[in-house]
Chain A
């Protein structure tokens, strides 16, 4: 049961252009969504997050959009830089039945982003 899905295994973008990474989820109990970036042989590095009560969050070159009705979120990187080349993971945080979050994350499979100079 894949509750968080990243359907594009890879994405290739020219430097300076926009990168759009997509993520779909099925569980309505998720209260927070996060994007992590991962280089080989390193742990995931937090990029940006969004609460389920918002539809957009922006931090510098990174913007995350959330469409709750479609259970879809996306990460936009503008402009893309070669140093952005990495694996990007979408993650969703669980709440329990009482609405309290204890932080357990469910991750998508990841999308390999390659930014060409």
Chain B
């Protein structure tokens, strides 16, 4: 299976701890997106990479959040000093830059902050 993968699938942490999630996109996809989904809502855009360049960040992405894609392949999303409001499903998606192409999502990382 060469779809988008995310690790870990589940993470439980205590308030104030740092967490890091990883996303491996489909290999030929140069665009990578992070979204966050809370209960009863659709996914909300967080940030976007074209190759290794981070081209847009949502205002939802506070200073405690940082994302990287150092070699233009996998990406990491780190949350520092987690808060209970950070509890959500964090989704990664990838896409080629060709016109009309679709974003394909990974299975997500479910974060619970106690």
A→B interface (CB under 8 Å) = 4, 6, 32, 34, 36, 41-46, 49, 51, 89, 91, 101-110
Q: By the criterion CB–CB under 8 Å, are B56 and A104 in contact?
A: yes
Contacts of B110 in A (CB 8 A): 41
Q: By the criterion CB–CB under 8 Å, are A42 and B108 in contact?
A: yes
A101 to B6, CA, bound (A): 25
Contacts of A104 in B (CB 8 A): 33, 45, 48, 56
A sample of 28 inter-chain contacts (CB < 8 A) reads: A6-B42, A34-B103, A36-B105, A41-B108, A42-B107, A43-B105, A43-B108, A44-B43, A44-B91, A44-B105, A45-B105, A46-B104, A46-B105, A89-B42, A89-B43, A91-B42, A102-B31, A102-B48, A102-B55, A103-B103, A104-B45, A105-B43, A105-B93, A105-B103, A107-B42, A107-B43, A107-B44, A109-B42
Q: By the criterion CB–CB under 8 Å, are B40 and A109 in contact?
A: yes
Main secondary structure of the interface of A (DSSP, over half): strand
Q: By the criterion CB–CB under 8 Å, are A46 and B44 in contact?
A: no
On whether A43 and B107 interact (CB within 8 A), knowing A104-B45, A107-B42, A108-B42, the answer reads: yes
Contacts of A89 in B (CB 8 A): 42-43
B17 interface contact, C-beta 8 A? no
Contacts of B101 in A (CB 8 A): 103
Q: By the criterion CB–CB under 8 Å, are A106 and B102 in contact?
A: no
CB distance from A111 to the nearest CB of B (A): 10
Which residue of chain B lies nearest to A45 when distances are taken between CB atoms in the complex?
Answer: B105
- Interfacial residues of chain B within 77-114, with CB under 8 A of chain A in the complex: 91, 93, 95, 99-108, 110
